[in-house]
Amino acid sequence: MKILSLFILLLLHPVHVSLTGIEYDTVNRVYAVFVKVYSDDLEEDMNLGRSTGGSIEGDQTERYFQYLADRVIIMEDGRPVKMKLLKTEADGLEHRFSLSAEGGVMVREVTVMNRIMTRLYDDQANMLLFSFDAIEDGYRFTSTDTLKIYKVK
């Protein structure tokens, strides 16, 4: 039901919303990450550059990766995990990205930071579906609330 509600929200553009899913495979210690955003908002937010002030450069795939690595960050016990961009899809209305990241051993805390379009829109809502072992949670990030901490052990 949560997923259906989130997809309905995504269909209601001009609402400023994105959807991120993070699922942790405990056997292989790998995060599977997907991000879905509206294409017009994505281009506008990418033009703002990195959160630290630098520009986003390179070919289109590299620009997408730089953008996502700047806006969506997963940390284990305070250390960022390194993500890899696996797949990019666009249909003219929205962009969908698949990423992966290798997890660590004996993790106690997972922090998710989501700053997608938070500098662009005050009413931005970044929806998160998070799954790690027995934890399954939905969370709504806003332009002022960009951090969520999960105690996983």
Higher pLDDT, 59 or 1: 59
Global model pTM greater than 0.75:
yes
**Average pLDDT over every residue of 10-29:** 84
The yes-or-no verdict on residue 3 having pLDDT over 70 is: no
Mean pLDDT of 51-74: 95
Beta strand 135-141 with 17-25 is unpaired
Q: Maximum CA pair distance of the chain?
A: 42
Distance CA 9, CA 18 (A): 9
